[in-house]
Chain A
Amino acid sequence: MDEAFSFVFLMLASTLRVATPLVLCAMGGLFSEKGGIVDVGLEGKMLMAAFFAAATASVTGSAWAGVAAAVIAAEALALLHGLACITYRGNQVVSGVAINILAAGLTVVLGTAWFARGGQTPPLVGDQRLMPLFLPEAGDNVLVYVALLSVPATWWIIARTRFGLRLRAVGEMPLAVDAAGLSVAWLRYRAVLLCGLLAGLAGAYLSIGQNAGFSRDMTAGQGFIALAAIIFGKWRAWPAFGACLVFGLLDAVAIRLQGVRLPGLGEVPVQLIQAMPYLLTMFLLAGFIGRAVAPKAAGVPYEKER
């Protein structure tokens, strides 16, 4: 009995550990997408934030300075995305892809130049990391709780505030918002900046919370899994949170199942479980599990003159 309890506890803890960056990223992406700005650059923002968090924490010795640097780095990329998509009405997917590639290259280039460790930052110890608050074996650092709080906060802002109402309007029909005398651009910039804030926290969690330092490409597709979670949650906060937990659980299970034979099934390939978030999202998008409808104006630059 005791053993079963500790097994469940450990599975829950590791699910939550893996899900935390997904949740933060998904909530950030939700703001952006609700405002009509598609963000495939979550991955790049998170990666850049993870690098600057670890680099700053290792130089200053303070984890909090690392968190601040992560948020600044992610916000810089968010502003770049906003500049390209909102001000210059560029293609939002192209901009997101550019940010991903830029981050993948720049983190290694700067990391090698500054630390000469092949793109890694020095291992972080003590105060350079965010430590677990209550349960050392669960790894519950402060950003885990921030992630858990970000879900009701996101829901409340989007569903219950004036800003949220306008944000949803700008993602569905910017012309109406413009006609009401509100600035489409300023609303969308705020959405993009909120996204940068949360993606920055997700990156900081990866490099100075969950791990003790930055290593190249450490986001490993989690930004895209967060994107999948948004779609899977049909652009709503709580279902997206649920999707993040399911994807986190899949990851935790994949580690457990390595080399284990299941009765009747044989050995389940780990790669299959790792590909599950993407496959499930594809099934959803194909309309086999309900229907996911994006905000109507997502991906479309707004032109005032028309």
Chain B
Amino acid sequence: MKAPGRSLAGPLPGWAEVVLLPLVNIALAFIVVGVIVAIIGVDPFHALRLLVTGALGSWESIGYTLYYATNFTFTGLAVAVAFHAGLFNIGGEGQAYLGGLGCGLAILALDRWLPAWLMIPIAIAAAALFGAAWAAVPAWLQAWRGSHIVITTIMFNFVASALMVYLMVNVLIAPGSMTPQSRGFLPSGQLPAIAGLPLNLSLVLALACCAAVWVFLWHTPWGYALRTMGHNPEAAVYAGTNLRRMTMVAMCFSGALAGFVGVNELMGVHHRIVLDFQAGYGFAGIAVALMGRNHPLGVLLAALLFGALQQGGAELAFEIPSITREMVVVIQGLIILFSGALAHLPRPWLQLLFARRAP
């Protein structure tokens, strides 16, 4: 097999690199999904039509799409910030879980005494703090003890899960409850939401996070140092950056962003602490970040697509019994594969295409 890249043709034009290549990658992922759907015995185009109407066909479904997109924005931004620092944070799952715990604990402790305008910022801060703390441990281990952050964040996902099950079953369970969930939050500990929909104020928080990440990464000295570290750690050291401290900053920021999933899910929708509210969002964040090319705007667009897939997939599973909701998980996996690991697969094809058109 011939080695790809840097072959006979020159580099791709800028727009093809930024727009065309990612689109081709996603198109490849969806072609494979279409084949899988056809293997199951469903017409892929019929399925696609159901998926699109399911995601965008009514105000209600758009509301659900935006609610899912909120979670994907948080975890996508979390992965993207770490990526810019050259760190691969696979621990979004655990950080989101702990963020929810922090948010929930703050509300359970204070909702009797505080009004909503004070309770909500405190709970959001608690979510950020707990998410950041859960990311800080692997960051510290990487920065000071030299252990690899990929492995430690994976391990911490499982530790988070064990911790949450223990706390919910033994400590936080509401008296008399048969299922492991806490008591309900009082109205002051609930985010304002659109009536009848899970869509709540967290969407605004997500948009604010996009803006904050953009300002932080591209318009502050810390963001500059963080990106320098990601591109070339030696140059960053030479420029006076403390790599250890920057690793901590990047991972804590990343963990705090992931922790906001808990705000959307617990303070926005469930109104109590439940188990597994974060399931899958942390990992999907990797796909969102890869697809959004680690830019806040790209992440937002990718999160909208993923939100639409999540909602449309649920409707699709409802309409066609032989398709389950896990089809969405398959699509996420394929997108990570094609726009992440196999990102260079179509490059030689495009290079050939552009080489032929050039004089």
Show 26 residue pairs from A and B whose CB-CB distance is below 8 angstroms, ordered by the A residue. Answer: A40-B150, A83-B342, A87-B1, A88-B4, A88-B341, A90-B340, A90-B342, A92-B341, A95-B342, A97-B90, A100-B333, A101-B283, A105-B330, A108-B324, A112-B323, A113-B322, A119-B324, A221-B158, A224-B154, A269-B166, A271-B165, A271-B166, A282-B152, A285-B152, A287-B146, A305-B6
The answer to whether the Cβ of A175 comes within 8 Å of any Cβ in the partner chain is: no
Q: How far, in whole Å, are A108 and B326 apart by their CA atoms in the complex? A: 6
In the complex with contacts A102-B337, A106-B36, A113-B323 CB distance below 8 A: yes
CB distance from A230 to the nearest CB of B (A): 10
Q: Kindly list chain B residues whose C-beta atoms are within 8 Å of the C-beta of A304.
A: 3
CB distance from B52 to the nearest CB of A (A): 19
Chain A minimum-CB-distance residue to B336 = A98
In the complex with contacts A83-B342, A231-B151, A105-B329 CB distance below 8 A: yes
Establish whether residues A274 and B162, one from each chain, have CB atoms under 8 Å apart when the complex forms: yes
Tell me the chain A residues, 212-258 only, with Cβ under 8 Å from chain B: 221, 224, 227-228, 231
Q: Kindly list chain B residues whose C-beta atoms are within 8 Å of the C-beta of A18.
A: none
Q: Kindly list chain A residues whose C-beta atoms are within 8 Å of the C-beta of B206.
A: none
Chain A minimum-CB-distance residue to B145 = A286
The answer to whether the Cβ of B24 comes within 8 Å of any Cβ in the partner chain is: no
Establish whether residues A105 and B342, one from each chain, have CB atoms under 8 Å apart when the complex forms: no
Establish whether residues B323 and A278, one from each chain, have CB atoms under 8 Å apart when the complex forms: no
In the complex with contacts A274-B162, A282-B152, A285-B151, A105-B332 CB distance below 8 A: yes
Besides A102-B334, A281-B155, A285-B148, 5 other A-B contacts (C-beta < 8 A): A90-B344, A91-B341, A112-B323, A231-B151, A285-B152
Q: How far, in whole Å, are A100 and B322 apart by their CA atoms in the complex? A: 22
The 8 closest A-B pairs by CB, nearest first: A105-B329, A102-B333, A285-B147, A95-B341, A101-B333, A105-B330, A90-B341, A84-B341
Instruction: Indicate the size class of the contact surface on chain A.
Output: 35 or more
The answer to whether the Cβ of A104 comes within 8 Å of any Cβ in the partner chain is: yes
Tell me the chain B residues, 256-294 only, with Cβ under 8 Å from chain A: 283, 286-287, 290
The answer to whether the Cβ of B23 comes within 8 Å of any Cβ in the partner chain is: no
Chain B interface residues toward A at CB < 8 A: 1, 3-6, 36, 40-41, 88, 90, 141, 145-148, 150-152, 154-156, 158-159, 162-163, 165-166, 170, 283, 286-287, 290, 321-324, 326-334, 336-337, 340-345
CB distance from B343 to the nearest CB of A (A): 6
Establish whether residues B336 and A97, one from each chain, have CB atoms under 8 Å apart when the complex forms: yes
Tell me the chain A residues, 62-118 only, with Cβ under 8 Å from chain B: 80, 83-85, 87-95, 97-106, 108-110, 112-113, 116
Candidates A80, A99, A271, A287; contact of B162 at CB < 8 Å = A271
Q: Kindly list chain B residues whose C-beta atoms are within 8 Å of the C-beta of A285.
A: 141, 145, 147-148, 151-152
Interface bits A39-73 vs B (CB < 8 Å: 1, else 0): 01000000000000000000000000000000000
Q: Kindly list chain B residues whose C-beta atoms are within 8 Å of the C-beta of A87.
A: 1, 3-4
A-B contacts counted at CB < 8 A amount to 157
Q: Kindly list chain A residues whose C-beta atoms are within 8 Å of the C-beta of B333.
A: 98-106
In the complex with contacts A113-B40, A113-B41, A286-B147, A93-B344 CB distance below 8 A: no
The answer to whether the Cβ of A300 comes within 8 Å of any Cβ in the partner chain is: no
Q: Kindly list chain B residues whose C-beta atoms are within 8 Å of the C-beta of A275.
A: 158-159, 162-163
Establish whether residues B327 and A109, one from each chain, have CB atoms under 8 Å apart when the complex forms: yes
Establish whether residues A94 and B290, one from each chain, have CB atoms under 8 Å apart when the complex forms: yes
Chain B minimum-CB-distance residue to A298 = B148
Chain B minimum-CB-distance residue to A216 = B326
The answer to whether the Cβ of A279 comes within 8 Å of any Cβ in the partner chain is: yes
Candidates A98, A224, A281, A287; contact of B145 at CB < 8 Å = A287
Establish whether residues B158 and A224, one from each chain, have CB atoms under 8 Å apart when the complex forms: yes
Q: How far, in whole Å, are A282 and B286 apart by their CA atoms in the complex? A: 23
Q: Kindly list chain A residues whose C-beta atoms are within 8 Å of the C-beta of B41.
A: 113
Q: How far, in whole Å, are A294 and B334 apart by their CA atoms in the complex? A: 29
Establish whether residues B141 and A98, one from each chain, have CB atoms under 8 Å apart when the complex forms: no
Q: Kindly list chain B residues whose C-beta atoms are within 8 Å of the C-beta of A278.
A: 155-156, 158-159
Chain A minimum-CB-distance residue to B141 = A286
Chain B minimum-CB-distance residue to A269 = B166
CB distance from A189 to the nearest CB of B (A): 10
CB distance from A273 to the nearest CB of B (A): 9
Establish whether residues A93 and B150, one from each chain, have CB atoms under 8 Å apart when the complex forms: yes
Q: Kindly list chain A residues whose C-beta atoms are within 8 Å of the C-beta of B330.
A: 102, 105-106, 109
CB distance from A51 to the nearest CB of B (A): 12
Q: Kindly list chain B residues whose C-beta atoms are within 8 Å of the C-beta of A1.
A: none
Q: Kindly list chain A residues whose C-beta atoms are within 8 Å of the C-beta of B156.
A: 278, 282
In the complex with contacts A98-B337, A275-B158, A287-B145, A93-B152 CB distance below 8 A: no
Establish whether residues B326 and A119, one from each chain, have CB atoms under 8 Å apart when the complex forms: yes
Establish whether residues B150 and A101, one from each chain, have CB atoms under 8 Å apart when the complex forms: no
Establish whether residues B323 and A109, one from each chain, have CB atoms under 8 Å apart when the complex forms: yes
CB distance from B40 to the nearest CB of A (A): 4
The answer to whether the Cβ of A8 comes within 8 Å of any Cβ in the partner chain is: no
Q: How far, in whole Å, are A227 and B158 apart by their CA atoms in the complex? A: 13
The answer to whether the Cβ of A262 comes within 8 Å of any Cβ in the partner chain is: no
CB distance from B25 to the nearest CB of A (A): 11
Q: Kindly list chain A residues whose C-beta atoms are within 8 Å of the C-beta of B147.
A: 282, 285-287
CB distance from B32 to the nearest CB of A (A): 10
CB distance from B202 to the nearest CB of A (A): 24
CB distance from A160 to the nearest CB of B (A): 29
Q: Kindly list chain A residues whose C-beta atoms are within 8 Å of the C-beta of B1.
A: 87
Q: How far, in whole Å, are A154 and B88 apart by their CA atoms in the complex? A: 30
The answer to whether the Cβ of A4 comes within 8 Å of any Cβ in the partner chain is: no
Chain B minimum-CB-distance residue to A87 = B1
The answer to whether the Cβ of A265 comes within 8 Å of any Cβ in the partner chain is: no
